Structure 1
Amino acid sequence: MDSKELARLLAKTALHDQQAFERLYLSTAAKLNGIAYRILHNSDLAHEVLQEAFIQIWHNAIEYRIDKAEPFTWMASIVRYRCYDRVRSEQRRLENKHIQEQVESIEQIAAINQPTTQMCEIGQDLADCLEQLEDVHRRGILMAYYFGFSRGEISDHLEKPINTIKSWLRRGLARLQQCLEK
């Protein structure tokens, strides 16, 4: 289908003409799905993203400007951006799952009042001093310095501002240092 016909179909879609939208879909879906598949490498995800993209095209067709881009280029960019959003979302989901697994083991360590085998690995004195800290300081220090979480990850998990996390870590380390010097 040529650009003029696609532009005409987009204009009619902007007026919520369902038949025009159906023709637009039938004439471009296969190619747009191919773009999604090349980015996502998963046919099910590509189909989902294509569906989301066509919903966006339906709602945003009125914003299309022929002087800015060719009709297919405009639709393809919607598909691409939806794919990139999906990739980022999947990466965050996997990272959050990994972080949650690590946090669960941290919380198990922090919840126990007696030093564990893992705590003994880092020294009995240190384990004793960690036990004397407030829970938020102990958890923050373990997350940051034993398990290697960034301040941002700790902030996200504990649902506190990053500056609060930095303050907790600074105060917790100061108290830990005082305890270890005794």
Structure 2
Amino acid sequence: MITASELLYRTAMAADVPAVVALVESAYRGESGQRGWTTESHLLDGQRTDPQSVSELIGRDGSKILLAERDGVLLACCHIERQGGAGYFGMFAVNPELQMGGIGRALLAEAERVAHASWQVPTMRMTVIVQRAELIAWYERRGYQLTGETLPFPYGDERCGLPRRDDLHFVCMSKPLGEVYA
């Protein structure tokens, strides 16, 4: 088991793109994703991300992909971005063989800290596919609340996957950061 104190956090660079894409795909799609609990393979086929999309996130102003490593090995990643007056959290992936060991919890806390410190945002927001009840509950245990807002799933955009059902949409969640990091 890897402890949070063993993790090194850093911001991704262009050279990290292949490793980030491989990690995200392994956590969300195909057989490897089914070893962890974050898989979306029962909801979506196809890709979860691609090198072009990850490169764009790395190069965009107000956007960072955070990496959690141990001994130079990528274990987890996430994307954070300043969107208006809030931070946005997404593309969260932990090596499926290491899930449920606290790495994700530690990276989420680091993402919140970095977003608050970098952009002075008082709130972190995210979207989660509504059918992912166990993931929504996990975020709720970390202080996130459903906002009541929903967003449509981007049907027809293969960059977001190939839906296996026609009732997908996102729920929005948020967490105040000010009192935690002030």
Q: Give the TM-score taking structure 1 as reference length.
A: 0.27
Higher alpha-carbon Rg:
1
Greater relative contact order: 1 or 2 (C-alpha under 8 angstroms, separation 6 or more)? Answer: 2
Name the one with the larger helix percent. Answer: 1
